């Protein structure tokens, strides 16, 4: 039976849950995307905020048939508007193991003679060179973190484009990239430049060590 269309606020909460889940579980070889919201309920908690109870279906970007069910709870805080919403989730079932692809990507970057530099991913026509796909998925994971930290009930962020990415030279085992991305905020329809420093290691996952909103250039 088809679920009823989610109301717009529940849709935003679901998008936030998906972004958070992708931040926690995604990587250069795995991107999780919201496929459907199967249940949504809200609960007002006096003096605290509004809680959304959601049942979601997520799909793996790289393998559309790979689908998982999740339950998520999002609490948007009443008082401190600068506090990130609390997000708790559980994933039912297994996510496909990506160790092999992660190691291929890791070795590819490690064996580059010069630090990676790239612009405009995707380009104006939506093209992403295959070797840039993991770079893009990594940005998506990091953008999920930024979205989570900056979301309210009335925002929804998507990664619109990577304007610039530069690999940062490191003496240890980690890979580090400095991204300048454009985020698309749905409700205001604004395009927001955002800078992110992202650390990754096949065994240690993704970490956004630093991020900052950038001023909007005149032509935006």
For other proteins, the closer CB: 171 or 218: 218
194: which 2 tokens? 């955002």
For other proteins, which is the closer residue by CB, 36 or 75?
Answer: 36
Contact predicate 195/180, CB 8 Å: yes
Pick from 151, 161, 152: nearest CA to 194: 161
Give min distance, CB of 217 to other proteins, in A: 9
Q: Which residue, 74 or 182, is less far from other proteins as judged by CB?
A: 182
Which is nearer to other proteins, 83 or 122 (by Cβ)?
Answer: 122
Query: Does residue 56 contact residue 15 with C-beta atoms inside 8 Å?
Result: no
Q: How far is the CB of 24 from other proteins (least distance, A)?
A: 18
Supply the minimum distance, in Å, between the C-beta of residue 15 and other proteins. 7
**Contact 12/195 with Cβ under 8 angstroms?**
no
Distance in Å, CB of 86 to other proteins, minimum:
23
Instruction: Give the nearest distance from C-beta 160 to other proteins in angstroms.
Output: 5
Token pair recorded at residue 69 = 């069910």
Choice between 33 and 207, CB closer to other proteins: 33
Residue with structure tokens 């026509």? 125
Reduced to 3 states (helix: H, G, I; strand: E, B; else coil), residue 138 is helix
**Site residues, other proteins (CB under 8 A):** 5-8, 11, 15, 31, 33-36, 61, 122-128, 158-161, 182, 184, 186-191, 216, 218-220
Q: What b/e readout covers 35-67, taking b as 16+ CB neighbours within 10 angstroms?
A: eebeebebeeeeeebbbbebbbbbbbbeeeebe
């Amino acid at each position: 039976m088809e679920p009823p269309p989610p109301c717009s606020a529940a849709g935003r909460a679901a998008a936030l849950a998906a972004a958070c889940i992708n931040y926690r579980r995604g990587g250069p070889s795995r991107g999780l995307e919201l496929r459907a919201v199967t249940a949504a309920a809200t609960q007002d908690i006096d003096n605290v905020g509004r809680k959304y109870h959601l049942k979601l279906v997520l799909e793996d970007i790289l393998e559309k048939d790979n689908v998982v069910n999740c339950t998520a709870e999002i609490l948007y805080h009443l008082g401190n508007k600068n506090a990130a919403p609390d997000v708790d989730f559980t994933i039912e079932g297994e996510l496909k193991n990506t160790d092999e692809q992660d190691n291929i990507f890791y070795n590819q970057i490690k064996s580059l003679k010069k630090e990676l530099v790239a612009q405009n991913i995707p380009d104006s026509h939506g093209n992403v060179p295959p070797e840039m796909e993991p770079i893009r998925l990594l940005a998506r994971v990091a953008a999920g973190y930024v979205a989570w930290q900056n979301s309210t009930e009335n925002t929804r962020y998507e990664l619109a484009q990577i304007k610039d990415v530069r690999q940062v030279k490191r003496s240890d085992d980690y890979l580090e990239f400095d991204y300048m991305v454009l985020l698309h905020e749905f409700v205001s329809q604004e395009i927001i430049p955002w800078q992110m420093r992202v650390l990754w290691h096949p065994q240690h996952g993704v970490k956004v060590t630093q991020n900052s909103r950038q001023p909007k250039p005149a032509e935006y």
